């Protein structure tokens, strides 16, 4: 069996009944979003296990080739070339192995899985969620965009279109412009997904109002 990508987890007090796999952004690690779990105030009876994978360390072109944790390289800020295809596909393969392992370990079906991520992690959430062989319970993409947008229509699985998608973005985002987030969301809608879009007057971060909304959405979907 292939070695699973390194990750940390936050477990419920009782039995595991559902799973959220949440990917971090460029230069961060799985530790970046783990402290968010208590803030979500998820009821114990939902039994949700949170898994936060660590991206591999790789040279990032836009940062002068300095190595850091990233799901893929960024060589250009152009929409169609912003995400390095090779890196996206490699990371997607590793993340899918982790997802499949987690579902199998706890005898969970895909309708008890949310695939989530922020920034580069949100890109990976889009990519993975839209291509699941069986529909996940939800896709959560924060302050992100689509990798390989021109290929989505051809590669999206028919079953995945049943998955609800929630997308959030800051209107003052200086890293991933909100216009890029809006265009990406339209691509996902046009591919046949039911997408819920939310904007907040913030930069490239997560705000308290957003956390409250995410909590309600997770409880609604996995409750």
Tokens matching residue 109: 């079906």
Return the residue matching tokens 């890029």.
180
In a domain, 1, yes or no: no
201/215 Cα distance (integer angstroms): 19
Question: Mean of the pLDDT values across residues 165-188?
Answer: 96
Query: For position 79, what pLDDT does the model report?
Result: 62
In a domain, 117, yes or no: yes
For the stretch 8-50, pLDDT in tens is 999 999 999 999 999 999 999 999 999 999 999 999 999 999 9
> Which DSSP helix (H) or strand (E) runs through 210?
helix 208-222
Task: Quote the number of domains for the chain.
Answer: 1
Q: What is the CATH number of the domain that holds 147?
A: 3.40.50.1820
In a domain, 41, yes or no: yes
Query: How wide is the angle at C-alpha 149 spanned by C-alphas 80 and 157, nearest 5°?
Result: 155
Query: For position 80, what pLDDT does the model report?
Result: 66
Is residue 199 within 8 A of residue 125, CB to CB? The reply is: no
Instruction: Tell which residue, 69, 62, 82, has the closest CA to residue 7.
Output: 69
| CA 153 to chain CA mean position, Å | 19
What is the domain range of residue 119? 7-222
Query: What per-residue string of b and e applies to 94-103 under the rule 16 or more CB within 10 Å gives b?
Result: bbbebbeebb
Query: For position 78, what pLDDT does the model report?
Result: 73
For the stretch 113-149, pLDDT in tens is 999 999 999 999 999 999 999 999 999 999 999 999 9
Residues 6+ apart with CB under 8 A from 105: none
pTM: 0.96
Query: For position 158, what pLDDT does the model report?
Result: 85
Residues 6+ apart with CB under 8 A from 190: 153
Tokens matching residue 79: 């929409």
Residues with catalytic roles: 119, 173, 204
Question: What is the DSSP pairing of strand 48-53 with strand 7-10?
Answer: antiparallel
In a domain, 2, yes or no: no
Query: How wide is the angle at C-alpha 98 spanned by C-alphas 139 and 155, nearest 5°?
Result: 50
């Amino acid at each position: 069996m292939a070695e699973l990508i390194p990750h940390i987890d936050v477990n419920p007090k009782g039995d595991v009944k559902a799973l959220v796999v949440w990917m971090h952004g460029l230069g961060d690690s799985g530790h970046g979003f783990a402290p968010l779990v208590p803030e979500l105030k998820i009821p114990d009876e939902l039994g949700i296990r949170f898994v936060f994978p660590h991206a591999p360390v790789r040279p990032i072109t836009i940062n002068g080739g300095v190595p850091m944790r990233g799901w893929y390289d960024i060589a250009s800020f152009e929409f169609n070339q912003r995400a390095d295809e090779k890196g996206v596909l490699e990371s997607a393969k590793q993340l899918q192995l982790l997802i499949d392992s987690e579902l199998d370990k706890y005898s969970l079906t895909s309708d008890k899985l949310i695939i989530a991520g922020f920034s580069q992690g949100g890109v990976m959430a889009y990519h993975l969620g839209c291509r699941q062989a069986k529909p996940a319970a939800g896709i959560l993409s924060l302050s992100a965009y689509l990798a390989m947008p021109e290929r989505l229509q051809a590669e999206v699985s028919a079953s995945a279109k049943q998955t609800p998608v929630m997308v959030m973005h800051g209107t003052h985002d200086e890293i991933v412009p909100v216009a890029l987030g809006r265009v990406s969301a339209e691509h996902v809608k046009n591919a046949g997904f039911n997408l819920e879009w939310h904007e907040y007057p913030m930069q490239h971060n997560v705000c308290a109002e957003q956390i409250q909304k995410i909590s309600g959405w997770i409880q609604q979907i996995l409750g």
